[in-house]
Amino acid sequence: MFFPEAVLVCFLGLVLGSFATALSWRIPRGLSWVSSRSACLSCQTKLGLADLVPVFSWLASKGRCRHCGAEIGRRYPLIELGVMAACLGVYTVYGFTVEAFLIMAALPFLAALLLIDLESMILPDSLVLAAGMIGLAALVWAIWAYGGAEEWLYSRLGGAVLYVGLAALVGRTVSFFMKKEALGWGDVKFFAVAGLWLGWEALPLFLVMGGLMGLVFGLVWRFWRHDPVFPFGPALILALYSSLLWQGIGLNLFFAI
């Protein structure tokens, strides 16, 4: 790990984390995440640069609005730090590469999806689409950088179709026997995004990761919320991130050999 690069990745991760906090707040409330300016939720004062430095503004103001003194929740710096840690994980595996930055570009959308699903049990189409579009950009880059367009298209586009088809089939089957919705359509659409990022070859890995994440998350949810019904989106999102890292580790080992 090269120190200047790691510092830059940390800075980028904090900025992307701040973007994720904005997405997770604005999207469920129907607010634009392109044109709307950030404002204090209590006094509605528009926030300036001094208020928007990730983590450090929160620390400097001791977790309170500089204008009205209202408390600012810990979720904001925690999300920023979480996305930063995720970016460092990607950098550790993929290095300072185009592939790494494309994955990092998707992280704020994935983080926002995770948070919104935890709070509202929905996966907004706009965020799922954004993660998918960056996946398409990653596919275009792979074709341009490595060639073999037919193989890449077969793997990634075929993966999107295979993942979503399997998810729809399993979801409908389980829902039929359980007599209740087992897998929402937002989850099914996210399967397509996962297939686009990972390719059909990684389907077993993604299913194993998703199952493990779902089991752990379900147990935590029951202990925390005392509710047997829990959103499955966070498990899928963490499974996609983990699978991307695992693929990168496997790629590194392949070239090392």
Confirm whether pTM is higher than 0.95. no
State the pLDDT confidence band at 256, using cuts at 50, 70 and 90: low
The alpha carbon torsion through 59, 64, 65, 67 (nearest 10 deg) reads -110
- Give the lowest-confidence range in 47-51, 122-126, 238-242: 47-51
| pLDDT of 184 over the 80 cut | no
**What integer pLDDT is reported at residue 102 of this predicted model?**
97
**What integer pLDDT is reported at residue 230 of this predicted model?**
80
**What integer pLDDT is reported at residue 105 of this predicted model?**
97
| pLDDT of 2 over the 80 cut | no
Average pLDDT over the chain, rounded to an integer: 86
Share of the chain above pLDDT 90, in %: 52
**pLDDT tens by residue, 73-87:** 888 999 999 999 999
| pLDDT of 38 over the 90 cut | no
**pLDDT tens by residue, 130-146:** 999 999 999 999 999 88
**What integer pLDDT is reported at residue 179 of this predicted model?**
58
State the pLDDT confidence band at 53, using cuts at 50, 70 and 90: confident
State the pLDDT confidence band at 21, using cuts at 50, 70 and 90: very high
